[in-house]
Structure 1
Amino acid sequence: MNAPLHREMPGAPALDAAAALDQIGRQWDDDIVRRLSDYIAVPAKSPGFDPDWAAHGFIDHVVRDAADWVLAQKVPGLTLEVVRIDGRTPVIFFEIAGTKAHATQTVVMYGHLDKQPEFTGWRADLGPWTPKYEDGKLYGRGGADDGYAVYAAIAAVQALKSQNVPHPRIVGLIETSEESGSPDLLPYIDALRPRLGDVGLVVCLDSGAGNYDQLWLTTSLRGMTGGTLKVEVLTEGVHSGDASGLVPSSFRIMRQVLDRLEDSATGRLLPASFHCEIPAERVAQARQTAAILGHDLFKRYPWVHYDCNGESRSVLPMTGDPVDALLARTWRPTLSVIGAEGFPAPRDAGNVLRPYTAFKLSLRLPPPVDAVQAAQEMKRLLEDNAPYQARVTFDPNEGAATGWNAPASAPWFAQALDAASQAHFGAPCGYIGQGGTIPLMNQLSKGFPTSQMMVCGVLGPKSNAHGPNEFLHVPYAKKLTAAVAEVIARMP
Structure 2
Amino acid sequence: MDYGKVREAVIKDWDGDVLPSLSGLVEIPALSAAYDAAWERNGHLRAAADHVRDWIASRGLPGAQCEVFQLDGRAPLLLVDVPATTGAEARGTVLLYGHLDKQPPLGDWSDGLGPWQPVVRDGRLYGRGAVDDGYSGYAATTALAAVQAAGGEHARAILLLETGEESGSPDLPAYLEHLSDRLGEVSLVVCLDAGGGDYERMWLTASLRGVVQATVTVRVLETSAHSGLASGIVPSSFRVMRRLLDRVEDSVTGEVTVPEMNVPIPEERRAEAEALAALEPGAAARRYRLADGMRAASDDDVELILNNTWRPTLSVIGAAGLPDPAVAGAVLRASTSLRLSFRTPPTVDAEAARAALVKILTTEVPYGAQVEVGDFMLLNGWQAPATAPWLAATLEEIGDQVFGEPCRSLGIGGGIPFMEMLGRRYPDAQFVVTGALGADSNMHVPDEWLNIAFAGQVTEAVAHILDAHARN
Same fold by TM-score greater than 0.5:
yes
User: In the aligned structure 2, how far is the partner of 1:296 from the partner of 1:269?
Assistant: 24
CA distances 1:134-174 after superposition (whole Å, capped 9, x unpaired): 11111221111111111110000111111121211111111
Partner of 1:4: none
Q: For residue 238 of structure 2, what is the amino acid of its counterpart? A: F
Contact preservation (8 Å) 2:186, 2:426: yes
Match of 1:154 among 98, 118, 141: 141
Match of 2:367 among 388, 402, 407: 388
Match of 1:242 among 225, 229, 233: 229
Q: Does 1:419 align with 2:405?
A: no
Contact preservation (8 Å) 2:237, 2:336: yes
Partner of 1:369: 348
Runs of at least 5 residues in structure 1 that lack an aligned partner in the other structure: 1-13, 306-312
Q: Does 1:24 align with 2:3?
A: no
Q: Does 1:436 align with 2:423?
A: no
User: In the aligned structure 2, how far is the partner of 1:468 from the partner of 1:335?
Assistant: 22
User: In the aligned structure 2, how far is the partner of 1:229 from the partner of 1:124?
Assistant: 37
Give the TM-score taking structure 1 as reference length: 0.93
Instruction: Find the residue that maps to 1:446 and give its secondary structure.
Output: helix
62-71 or 115-124: which moved more? 115-124
User: In the aligned structure 1, how far is the partner of 2:395 from the partner of 2:253?
Assistant: 38
CA distances 1:38-75 after superposition (whole Å, capped 9, x unpaired): 21121111111112110011001101100000101111
Q: Does 1:215 align with 2:193?
A: no
Question: What fraction of aligned residue pairs are identical, expressed as a percent?
Answer: 43
Deviation at residue 34 of structure 1 after TM alignment? 2.0
Runs of at least 5 residues in structure 2 that lack an aligned partner in the other structure: none
Q: Does 1:179 align with 2:158?
A: no
Contact preservation (8 Å) 2:152, 2:467: yes
Q: Does 1:449 align with 2:427?
A: yes
Q: For residue 422 of structure 1, what is the amino acid of its counterpart? A: D
Partner of 2:71: 85
CA distances 1:193-233 after superposition (whole Å, capped 9, x unpaired): 12111111100000121111000000000011111001111
User: In the aligned structure 2, how far is the partner of 1:34 from the partner of 1:293?
Assistant: 35
Partner of 1:204: 191
CA RMSD of aligned residues (A): 1.3
Deviation at residue 126 of structure 1 after TM alignment? 2.1
Partner of 1:110: 97
Instruction: Find the residue that maps to 1:397 and give its secondary structure.
Output: strand
Partner of 1:462: 440
Q: Does 1:346 align with 2:325?
A: yes
User: In the aligned structure 2, how far is the partner of 1:367 from the partner of 1:15?
Assistant: 39
User: In the aligned structure 2, how far is the partner of 1:58 from the partner of 1:34?
Assistant: 19
CA distances 1:330-382 after superposition (whole Å, capped 9, x unpaired): 11101111111111111111111111111111111101101111111111111
Deviation at residue 249 of structure 1 after TM alignment? 0.9
CA distances 1:289-337 after superposition (whole Å, capped 9, x unpaired): 11213212322112222xxxxxxx3x11101222111111011101111
User: In the aligned structure 1, how far is the partner of 2:411 from the partner of 2:101?
Assistant: 23
Contact preservation (8 Å) 2:258, 2:357: no
- Structure 1 segments, 4+ long, off by >6 Å, are none
Q: Does 1:63 align with 2:49?
A: yes
The alignment of Structure 1 onto Structure 2 pairs a total of residues equal to: 469
Q: For residue 57 of structure 2, what is the amino acid of its counterpart? A: L
User: In the aligned structure 2, how far is the partner of 1:179 from the partner of 1:186?
Assistant: 15
Partner of 2:382: 404
Q: Does 1:227 align with 2:214?
A: yes
Deviation at residue 77 of structure 1 after TM alignment? 2.1
Contact preservation (8 Å) 1:113, 1:174: yes
Deviation at residue 449 of structure 1 after TM alignment? 0.7
How is 1:246-261 mapped onto 2 (pairs within 5 angstroms)?
246-261=233-248
129-138 or 355-364: which moved more? 129-138
Instruction: Find the residue that maps to 2:68 and give its secondary structure.
Output: strand
User: In the aligned structure 1, how far is the partner of 2:194 from the partner of 2:339?
Assistant: 24
Contact preservation (8 Å) 1:223, 1:367: yes
User: In the aligned structure 2, how far is the partner of 1:471 from the partner of 1:236?
Assistant: 46
Deviation at residue 100 of structure 1 after TM alignment? 4.6
Match of 1:334 among 277, 293, 313: 313
CA distances 1:114-151 after superposition (whole Å, capped 9, x unpaired): 11112114223322222222111112211111111111
Partner of 1:285: 272
